[in-house]
Every structure is written in C-alpha cells, then in structure tokens.
Structure 1
C-alpha cells in the first residue's frame, strides 16, 4: 500500500471512509442539506475522492497516515506543503498541482463542512494561481469562418464515397465538429446526448438540441436550434452513417463509435485528428469553445455575451466575456482613430517612414548623387531680423 500513488476508497482509513459515506448520503437530522450524491455529479465526486486519495497515499508513503485521526486533522499546512513538494518532483504542470489541491480541499469540505479550510484555497491570503503560477501558453484562437471550409470539404468528399467505415466516421465527425463549431457544447454534454431526448426535428426540417440541467456543468438547461447547414450534416449522419456502426441498434446514444457509444476520450481523439489534418496542430474539443466565443467577440461585444450564454456559462462569466470584448473593441477603435488622425495631420509612423526595400536612403547613395547640401541654419540665423 505504501507504494501506491492514490488510495482507492476501500483502502482509506475507517474514519475517512465513514466520513465520506456520510457526506454522500447526507445526515438524516440535517434535512436542509441533502447528501452530495444528490447534488453533485458522479464524475465530480470521483475527482474529489481521487484528489484526497492521492493525499492519503502520500501520507502512507511518508509514515504519517495515523489511523485514529479525523480527516480534517490530517490536513495541516506542514503536511500539505510536503505533499505539494512531492507533486512538484513528479514534474507536474502548475494547473495539475492546483487541481490536486482543489480536489483535496473539496473532499475535505464535504467530510468536514464546518471546518475552516479556506487557507487551502488561499495560502498566505493569495489565490492558488498566484501561489502556484503557471507559464503563459501561446494559443491561436481560430475564427469559426476559417475552420468551416475544412468541415464542408470533408462532408462533400464523404458524400461521394461508397458506404464504408471510413465514410460513416467522416459523416459522424462532420456532424460532431459542426455542432462544436456552431454551438460549442461541453464534451461531457455531447457524451450524454440521446436520440429522443436531446435532439428533435422541427417542421421546417431544422434540428434543435436540448441539454437538460443535469447534463450541463452550470446546472442550467440549454436549448438552441441548429442552422440549415449544421442540420443537414446531422441529417446525413443519422440517415447514412449511424445505423452502420456496431452496437448502434442496442444504444440510444447519439454519437456512436466502432466499439459502442462515444466517450470523452473518443471525442478528444476525433477533434485532435481532424484539427491536426486541417490546421497543422491538434486541438481538443474545449478549444472550440474558445474559438466560438472569440469569433463572436471579434464581431461585437454583445455577441460575445450571447455566445457565452449559449455555451451555458453563468451570468458572471458571460459579463466578464462581454467586458473583455468591450475592451478589445475599444482598443481597435482607438487604433483606427489614431491612424485616421495621423493621416489627417500628415504624421508618418515608423513603419511608413522606413525606406522601402531596394530603395536607397537620402543619407546614402541618393545623398552622394544629389551633391553637397547646404548646412542647416543655426538658431541665430533662424531668428527673424530686427526692425
């Protein structure tokens, strides 16, 4: 057990395991706060338990896993600092380090809801991002209009092929990436999509997509129509491709793979394979959310707010995206105004004043050809003559 990186729930000490089970089911005497199992998704609870399991495994490796301690007693600044140092030695990214602490803190909050554990999220009064800073990542926010032609070409080439696994996968990828480009849902919502629950066709042959509150991260339902082109891609996938996947007749899931319903990892591989082919760099499904929002922000701040709402973000996050778009457009307007003022006043910028390639400057060959120039007048000579 001492060599494990993470302790599973059945390997936790008895007190920790009992506290976790009580947090999941809830206290019968406290009816106002239901158990975590009834208000937090299974995947999120698993990530919390995994983070705490990593902390317990560290304590076991260092001989500090005391069986008689309560979970909140195990969390001390000294132990957490040692754990953080051990995580750093594994060359984990700063985002991974922060996530380990966040998950461990969330698990302890469930097991000891009345304990003061704010110091775990704000060590030294600083946020985790300031306490564990990361390196800035260079990324390119592609415009949706620039990526759509690649999807259209893949769709056109798939339609002229004979029926085959490659054709069915291409039609599925077109419909999947088309929805990601046009509406940018989260990958977890895509995995849960069912035929009769999440999509339906209207009278004008357009399709609607609906995500119930339990299938969204913000616990708010999302309902939106697909445009004509994206609806056509979805129709072709349903009519020409989906039924040809193995196990399609046994599942109501919308997105099918060769081994059954699509998983998060499968959708990740699809997006990375297609974007590497089209853009020369692999991008995961979360990148489409950034492209969707940034494409709207380039056009109007109001569209940035609407795009954030379509993506299922909270009002606070949507307002933040709107403010960022406002700043972007203010900077662009300021740049245009400066350019117009320079043009009006005849002021040359450094770029416009720089001699063109191939042209000699006056201080070089042209100066020699023009001959000697008269010396510039002195300040005394520039003065107006006395009357």
Structure 2
C-alpha cells in the first residue's frame, strides 16, 4: 500500500458475512466505505421473509450494525445509494428509510435495476464520515455540512449536498424544474441539461465551481440515449477557462437503470472536491489543493472522461469496460475474460499513478446477467487475493457496446494532492 496512512478494513458478526469477496467497511482517512447490504439476516445467512418493508428494514439494520460496530452513528452518514428491482416499491421503502434518518439527512441516489444478488428486491450501500481519520492521523472534530438550495429540487428524505473534510457529495439530480417540482418538458436532451443545471445550481449555492467535480455517474433508462446525453454533457464540461486550458474532465461511469424516480429518463450524481474542507480544517486555496487528473495510454481513453481523478486522500477510477486496446472494441469472450479485461485496465490505471490494487477501498460491478456473479468472483479474487475492498454488485438491463460487465473503483491516495502531506 502506498504512503503511511493505514486503511481500516473491518467486519462485524452483527451484519452478514460470507456473501461474497468483500469487506463490510473500509475506512481510509476521513471517509468509510460501506459495502452494499442485502436484506440478509446475519443469524441465518438468508434473505429475510416478508414484504419490501421487511427487506428495506433489514438492509438498514445491517448498515446500522456495521456503523455502530466501528463507533459511529447513522447521523455520520454522508451518502446512501438505494437499488430496487421495482421502482414502485420506493414509497413503501421510504416509510422505513425515514425511521433510520430523522435529521442530518445524507445525500441519496435511487434507481431500479434489472437484478440483485440472491434475488433480493432491494440493496443499499453507504458512505460514512470518519472524523477520527485512520492511523496515524489524529482525531479531528470535523463538522458535516448538509446544505440545500431553494433553486434546486428538494427532497424530504435527502440533502442536496453533504460535505465532510475535503469532499462534497451531491445527491442524484433528476430532470426536475425546482419552480414547478415536475419533470421538465422535452426529450432526453432537455432532461440531461436539467440534471446538470441542477448540479451546477447546488454547487453555486455553496460557492463551489462546477469544475471541482471529480466524478459523475450518469443513470439512463435507455443506453441508446447516451449519444444525445453526451452532446449536452460536452456543453457543461469543461466549464471554466482554467479547466478548458488543461482539457479537464472528471471521471465518469454510465449505468443502465431499469427505471428512475418520477419516470425520468436520466439522473446524475456527483462527487466534488472541497478545498475549503469543513471546520475546523484550514481553508485551502482550491487551485493549490490540486485535482490530479491522469490518463495512461495503456488503458482505454475517452474524450468524455479522465481515467483517474485524485483529490486529497482519494482517487476516483472511471467505469472500465472490457475494451481490447488493440481493436478499440469490446473483447470477444466469456464473462471471465471480460472481467479480467476490466480489472486489468483498473490495475493498469492504478499502477500508472504509483499505487497498487491493495490501495482500492471500494469496487462497483455492473453485470448484464447477475447469474454470472460466481464466474466474476473467480477472476475477482485473483486481483484481490488478500485484502478485499468494500463492494457493490448489481444486475443491469444492458451495458455499453453489449459488454457483459463494467467495473469502477475508488482508491485511497495516501500521498494526497499538493500542498497536503
């Protein structure tokens, strides 16, 4: 592992174990990554019986057990991602969700997916603030800044932006007009532009430049809409003269959703660098606490994103498809071969930044067929033979270019970015 800051990878018997090659929680510096929790009873190792409310409660109970096992509380939560197999279950899920988050609401992303492991109807993962840092960092009484703007759509169960330390997480933005509370008129281009405008409005409300975004995730109900979305996306990135001068683009992942809230065709969330930090941290000059965006020619490049974007103690790796570098096309082969190709690209990117695979703290896997998971795991454990990151796995209705698998990752970055040490 690079540097001297130590990862804290921990499991508790009070939440499900042995459901796959992952660790329940992996902390590094001032954040803790919680692996996706299925509605599994840790006493039996099986899905709980009952309706969607029972499954939602078990997911949240498992998350709470992990959070409490490491000396934290649910109020420390920064972000929750909620995966459903039926979007019409959301209202029932929300009645349970509100029992666990009564104030200091985290940001939230909600989507329906094609399938989940074990045939579950729901799954949730989470990002937790970690004010104590990880060894040898000294504990710091950092403040979580949860903020909303009246100029962007608000949600009674989430906060638009939650900053902690040197990162700010923006909850999923739907193509809603804040003035009307309804989806904007028009097609996919108008919806994509509204999502990005809402993100920009949220950032402007807290005086953060749009080009401080380090990672964007685009959720589409039809991947055929991606070309139209990309046309709009290009008009927002790069945003400033400084960013245009260096052709800065954030990392990005594109995920096919079976359905989105309100019947939207697209939604987007974002991870944002936060050079101000949160009190009592010293305010850094945003252009001195550097965003390090890097590409290597040994992995697939894209005109719409950067392969890896580091800021402070984290580095975000863009979604990797099983692209054959020799042909520029999806690798011909089975899911094992495609998985190895995706992970090989991630390994190449990680090593190009002077890191190793043990520095990865979170992995996200999207499968075109959830039944392929065992085959994927057989390859996955070859790349993570000892230390296992936190992980989220979903089945999706389709992947770009007909791929069978896509993988992105979050990496620890002990050396930080200048001028930190």
| TM-score when normalising by structure 2 | 0.21
**Larger RCO: 1 or 2 (CA < 8 Å, sep 6+):** 2
| TM-score when normalising by structure 1 | 0.23
Question: Which structure: larger Rg?
Answer: 1
